[in-house]
Structure 1
């Protein structure tokens, strides 16, 4: 079974939780390249283990064979899964835990003979039979934005689904739906998609071109050669691909592109040029292979849904007199990482768009936000090329969470949070006082009362009703297993290890010296089901809590290597910002005040460094990748993590390492959302002491608009003496 990335495990857990809430629909927003199919197939498998009587129906769009591709992926990812196509359903009907992959076209298209009238009736009978057997349908609508029609809605209605999951990279917001979103930065952090999309790299602010085809293709071919050389240096077989996208009805433009490429020796005959149009297809055999021969492919706007070619890295979007509607899927084609990893090289970790279509670039920026920025290459000033630090990097080997340390962590957390001890009767009283439920029955919650207006505040006023039902180990046993599995998914632990931890902490039949409660088996079932949200909250808090007594820090496999500031890097900035001031204090020539992506604290800190006479130079560190400066730390469960401090600078000849965090609002409340801040502070302090350097955490106090620094002992209270004015320390 394929190993899921941390963010994918989190999403599986959120989808499982979403099935249990009151909303009829779940909107699953997931960027192209984030492994949506992997996530959904694992969700179906996990949910099926913990709940009776469900059938999954996955509706795919397009005229291709996307349903067969999706079925094949689930067969590959999940061994012994019960997958079916429409033809299988017509023969065998629907059974519990089936995952049925069905193409919309075969159910909705007028004149389609896939389902004749008698078969349509038969299909509806299979649905009715499933309902008669007590089965519930969970319908997954893939690429939902493509099938938002009356016909599609009629098909969904046939199933009378218990829940509808609509997936899309660009969903329509629905206030009555549960939103489960994959954050783009998480996908980038795992190395699945490119770090940034570079638009018209190094184009002058004002350009005049005689011919858009030659101008744009020259840039694209030069970039393709540069990328190929860099892949060769990495000893990678990847042959980066240029996608040339033509407008619809553009035969004259297509002919011009082909003639121009022929002048550059990129032809159909020598295999370097491919084409995928409705009336012409050539050199497409295994074009998705990383080392396939074609270096460019001509396509039109309607790229086939489901077509994945991870080596595609450059998009040339040509236009005629009219601009066509922007399609996020088009950009998605060039965002995947070919070998599902970043290379630690901005050149290879970026994708490139060349176009003179202003409407299209505006569409890109609207959809991708900070993921699409103006960019230019900057070079390190000569006087800073000898700066050297020691960077720590995690082991390349995947380090699994240590279940023994996880168990000790939970004991320590409960002791710190609830003052528990080995006296289990007292522990029960302490937990009950803090909101834990103890009952041999299953308690569900509903509401009673009336509302005058259908508004959230009105619903909050309703009285809560506790509905109790006797515990049935057969029925609720499956719910217990589901809850344990979901907790494990949240923490990155397999079901078996998660179950062992729960049993050792709370089950009197399982021996453990530091037991918190002594419940019998039935009580453990009820305890986990009734307190699921509370347990989840506590287990997640335990991973990052600074008050937990940690086990021995295991830095086995951590490597130290010399770090030098990269001699060049791809600088991204907001070209629309009216202020484009060059910061002389920065180690790179041409570094602008409009640098993006930057937090408010970072922007304020960079401006401070520029205006301070004490700062000799400043370097803005990257936030992911082996080419940047990092320090290794561990969460309380023993899992290694990389910490990339924001800045390295020289103050009066001394090296300082600075991490900026969310500030304090006008009432003194913290705006830092990073629960690992105390741990990162401790590991930074360890590093600074080890290497005889200076540094700390810097935060902005919005009450007075000043920057404060913490260097000795971390606290979240701005009124503490631990936070001192940055001016007083650095000036």
Structure 2
């Protein structure tokens, strides 16, 4: 099982949270982010590092969620040791068990899943496990539904020191350690749709005899458009429309059914499905990508755990009263059918049609710039013939090359710490850089007095080093855990990272760039004592511009095609923004100053272009997809990446390509968080030279209130001569 980078990051943060004092850990995981994959992978890795552990995965009562979760772990994790409640009742708990339990079957009133005698037996199994030295870690799935007194009673049986609560909408717990998976990273990974489009191309004033018919017509027209594009691209997916009815709306249901019957979508021919508490039709294969069901009728609540990745359009109907917005509802249409983007805005977006103003407000409040108003813009005829060469990666794998990663890390040590071939000198250099090189394991604690417990008070205390002799048995698991963490930093498995560490530091390796000559025990100590420094170095080594590291691909590793500005674009904007000025220099008619999502730097740059007379036109490039201008590069481990520069502009007849980055604050400190900026700059410069174009990186300097451009040599120092005023360069 290969995890995406953001998933590996979440696993790493779970490990870190387990080492902290807080009992409660909250994993805020957006719908579609692969929560079960993240947790089951973490559980497996944790049990490899920490003996005598048993995981208890608690689920709420609806939808047989515990069986679904167990089945996923069995599928994802080879040789996983999973159990359901009946298995526990038969054999109790064993080391490395992952037990999936529906907590309502234990104590729900009127539920006969466990009789009183069996419930007593269940508690006896727990007590026996505790007596045998096992320790329980609790995972509370869908925690927004499990945060009850009865659920808490179940948790208390296990006497656990760690509880991991996970949900797309978790409820806050004071003092909890929060792990928040950014929705943007899930989108970049291609697992969920890039944008939720609300009421696309609706007029400012709508006159209609029947609101229901109007919304259904729009939804079905969008269904036809999406279906046609999928077939043209040989993608065998039938997009699903979800029609959500308010509760107590039988009459409304009849109206919807009759409308679809006139269209030819019926329960009898399988094109219409329904999932209500008292009615189920055509649900058996509805989750299959090519299911004939094109629409499903549901009520306000959808069963917990129901996933239908092909769902793409939501029609939210109302019946006199507005209803409370539920983020889970929108989550049903956000997954990508095949867990990847297609590079086509139409297919990589999901669509909401509703006249429910309160619901719409709830969507925008919850999703922010992920849910925007939208309209289709058309390219002005003067720009249809503009063409450039676009490059796209041909390697479909995201795997890193261990050999290149090894070389990059070795070169990073040579570049930053100045290591060489003399291992004795290297030892001194590493110690000077703060590395601990010892046969023993070093821990640290503090000594002193304080009236308050905070970081400032602790920093004033005496720092005490505590040493212990290395024991390969007891510290072996810790070494495994640390190596796993280091690998997670760059998306590399344990075995590869272990090999890299051994090549660099173990005396028995034959690597010509070896840094130290440590025996195996000393390698264990070195890794355990210096994990944080190694993590930083390994991460930075993948992005740093180092001499002789490969920048460009061979011809057969890059796919080149002619880029032309797309004839249409799905323009998303903030309808409530006070600024709704049309940007006349934009290549699209109707492009507004309220365009979203935009960074502050992008917004300032667009206004600059609108005001400067030498700039003739401007195009905002997309950030993913084959229809946008892309440049291929690889990181220092050989992983291919596509770089999509932000803007293409024309200055007095010449094409410029511009990438905007985080600016500089009033003290000159960089606000750019992209560690790949230096590498991207070199790649862009190389591209501009090859195709005889101009361009560079643009950043906003808060001290001078000016946009600055870097065109020759990248620097992170705004006071450097490499940064010039954009107005001086462009004019």
TM-score interval, smaller chain: over 0.9
1:87 shift after superposition: 0.8
Matched, 1:75 2:69: no
Task: Tell me, in whole angstroms, the C-alpha distance in 1 between the residues paired with 2:691 and 2:124.
Answer: 73
1:10 shift after superposition: 2.1
Residue 56 of structure 1 corresponds to which residue in structure 2?
Answer: 55
- What per-residue deviation string (whole Å, max 9, x for no partner) do you get for residues 259-287 of structure 1? 22223222222322111101111121201
Unaligned runs of 5+ in 2: none
Residue 370 of structure 1 corresponds to which residue in structure 2?
Answer: 369
Contact 2:29–2:168 (8 Å) recurs in 1: yes
- What per-residue deviation string (whole Å, max 9, x for no partner) do you get for residues 402-448 of structure 1? 22222221121111111112222222222122221223222233444
Residue 589 of structure 2 corresponds to which residue in structure 1?
Answer: 589
Task: Tell me, in whole angstroms, the C-alpha distance in 2 between the residues paired with 1:148 and 1:273.
Answer: 36
Matched, 1:522 2:508: no
Q: Higher mean Cα deviation, 509-518 or 573-582?
A: 509-518
Task: Tell me, in whole angstroms, the C-alpha distance in 2 between the residues paired with 1:206 and 1:41.
Answer: 50
- What per-residue deviation string (whole Å, max 9, x for no partner) do you get for residues 22-68 of structure 1? 22222111110111111111111122222211111111123221111
For residues 705-724 of structure 1, what are the structure 2 equivalents within 5 Å? 705-724=705-724
Contact 2:4–2:491 (8 Å) recurs in 1: no
Residue 15 of structure 1 corresponds to which residue in structure 2?
Answer: 14
Contact 1:409–1:549 (8 Å) recurs in 2: no
Residue 281 of structure 1 corresponds to which residue in structure 2?
Answer: 280
SS at match of 1:65: helix
Unaligned runs of 5+ in 1: none
Contact 2:553–2:633 (8 Å) recurs in 1: no
1:575 shift after superposition: 0.5
Q: Higher mean Cα deviation, 690-699 or 628-637?
A: 628-637
RMSD: 1.6
1:288 shift after superposition: 0.9
1:470 shift after superposition: 2.3
SS at match of 1:474: coil
Contact 1:405–1:551 (8 Å) recurs in 2: no
Residue 91 of structure 1 corresponds to which residue in structure 2?
Answer: 90
SS at match of 2:616: strand
Using the size of structure 1 for normalisation, the TM-score is 0.97
Distance 1:465 1:11, change over 3 A: same
Contact 2:551–2:683 (8 Å) recurs in 1: no
Task: Tell me, in whole angstroms, the C-alpha distance in 1 between the residues paired with 2:117 and 2:588.
Answer: 71
Using the size of structure 2 for normalisation, the TM-score is 0.97
For residues 363-442 of structure 1, what are the structure 2 equivalents within 5 Å? 363-398=362-397, 400-442=399-441
Contact 1:438–1:527 (8 Å) recurs in 2: yes
Contact 2:400–2:491 (8 Å) recurs in 1: yes
Task: Tell me, in whole angstroms, the C-alpha distance in 1 between the residues paired with 2:462 and 2:663.
Answer: 38
SS at match of 1:538: helix
1:322 shift after superposition: 2.3
Residue 323 of structure 2 corresponds to which residue in structure 1?
Answer: 324
Residue 654 of structure 1 corresponds to which residue in structure 2?
Answer: 654
Residue 305 of structure 2 corresponds to which residue in structure 1?
Answer: 306
For residues 216-255 of structure 1, what are the structure 2 equivalents within 5 Å? 216-255=215-254
Task: Tell me, in whole angstroms, the C-alpha distance in 2 between the residues paired with 1:589 and 1:321.
Answer: 38
Q: Higher mean Cα deviation, 420-429 or 273-282?
A: 420-429
1:459 shift after superposition: 5.0
Task: Tell me, in whole angstroms, the C-alpha distance in 2 between the residues paired with 1:26 and 1:593.
Answer: 41
Q: Higher mean Cα deviation, 255-264 or 70-79?
A: 255-264
Residue 199 of structure 2 corresponds to which residue in structure 1?
Answer: 200
Task: Tell me, in whole angstroms, the C-alpha distance in 1 between the residues paired with 2:507 and 2:518.
Answer: 5
Residue 613 of structure 2 corresponds to which residue in structure 1?
Answer: 613
SS at match of 2:542: helix
Residue 335 of structure 2 corresponds to which residue in structure 1?
Answer: 336
Matched, 1:176 2:175: yes
1:549 shift after superposition: 4.6
Residue 38 of structure 2 corresponds to which residue in structure 1?
Answer: 39
1:198 shift after superposition: 0.4
Contact 1:56–1:100 (8 Å) recurs in 2: yes
SS at match of 1:663: coil
Task: Tell me, in whole angstroms, the C-alpha distance in 1 between the residues paired with 2:268 and 2:114.
Answer: 43
For residues 671-686 of structure 1, what are the structure 2 equivalents within 5 Å? 671-686=671-686
Residue 465 of structure 2 corresponds to which residue in structure 1?
Answer: 466
SS at match of 2:663: strand
Task: Tell me, in whole angstroms, the C-alpha distance in 1 between the residues paired with 2:368 and 2:445.
Answer: 40
Contact 1:242–1:297 (8 Å) recurs in 2: yes
Task: Tell me, in whole angstroms, the C-alpha distance in 1 between the residues paired with 2:283 and 2:466.
Answer: 61
- What per-residue deviation string (whole Å, max 9, x for no partner) do you get for residues 566-616 of structure 1? 111111001000110001100111100000111111001100111111111
Q: Higher mean Cα deviation, 651-660 or 221-230?
A: 221-230
Residue 669 of structure 2 corresponds to which residue in structure 1?
Answer: 669
Task: Tell me, in whole angstroms, the C-alpha distance in 2 between the residues paired with 1:492 and 1:147.
Answer: 33
Task: Tell me, in whole angstroms, the C-alpha distance in 1 between the residues paired with 2:472 and 2:125.
Answer: 31
Contact 2:552–2:632 (8 Å) recurs in 1: no
Contact 1:198–1:350 (8 Å) recurs in 2: yes
Residue 257 of structure 1 corresponds to which residue in structure 2?
Answer: 256
Residue 580 of structure 2 corresponds to which residue in structure 1?
Answer: 580
Residue 482 of structure 2 corresponds to which residue in structure 1?
Answer: 483
SS at match of 2:200: coil
Contact 1:416–1:548 (8 Å) recurs in 2: no
Residue 535 of structure 2 corresponds to which residue in structure 1?
Answer: 536
Distance 1:505 1:175, change over 3 A: farther
For residues 678-697 of structure 1, what are the structure 2 equivalents within 5 Å? 678-697=678-697
Q: Higher mean Cα deviation, 194-203 or 635-644?
A: 635-644
Residue 112 of structure 2 corresponds to which residue in structure 1?
Answer: 113
Alignment: residue pair count:
730
1:468 shift after superposition: 2.7
Matched, 1:167 2:166: yes
Matched, 1:636 2:636: yes
Q: Higher mean Cα deviation, 517-526 or 6-15?
A: 6-15
